[in-house]
Structure 1
Amino acid sequence: MTYVIAEPCVDVTDQGCVGVCPVACIHFDEGVDRKLYIDPNECIDCGACEPVCPVEAIFGEFDLPYEWEQYAEIDALWYEDKDAARAKVDAAKEKD
């Protein structure tokens, strides 16, 4: 995993990052997902998405704040089991 979209994106889903990604590795299901997800297998670690995020939700894997570490797993999980990833986002937000 290279870049991760963390909690500040939840319920915001600004798509500015999608348009600047040169490999189109940022996805979500509109009307269903509460955040956007970066595909860890497609991301080329270019960092183009990070500066355009208006809520500063995108972090390099090693810069991800401790309190949001679970979002690295959630981003990867979404590409295998969307419902499980959505449940983890909901659970993470309930803790707040």
Structure 2
Amino acid sequence: MTTDPTPTISRIDEPSWRRYGTALLHSMAEVRAETAEDVHPLLMETADYWLSMGLAIGTAHPDAAHRLLRLIEAEEPERAELGTDAEQFIAEALA
């Protein structure tokens, strides 16, 4: 019996995790293009955190998520654009 805690296959090698990572990279392409390369890992970690936070809120508290979205994106055209971006992200991440 080994005591090595390292999993046989790392999470990053899982196809679903790689699809999510690729979708996140694509969704952040514009921001990454406008920032120094040395901050990209921090940007991606921050994006991953806030996406996870939003999913947790949306899952556990859908009414609050709806209210927060209206607060953050007060104008309907911006919410519609965000909805389109979300559909593209879902299609890529969960393909």
Please report the TM-score for the alignment, with normalisation by the length of structure 2.
0.32
Higher relative contact order (CA 8 A, sep 6+): 2
Q: Rg: which structure is higher?
A: 2
Relative to its length, the structure with more strand (as a share) is 1
Please report the TM-score for the alignment, with normalisation by the length of structure 1.
0.32
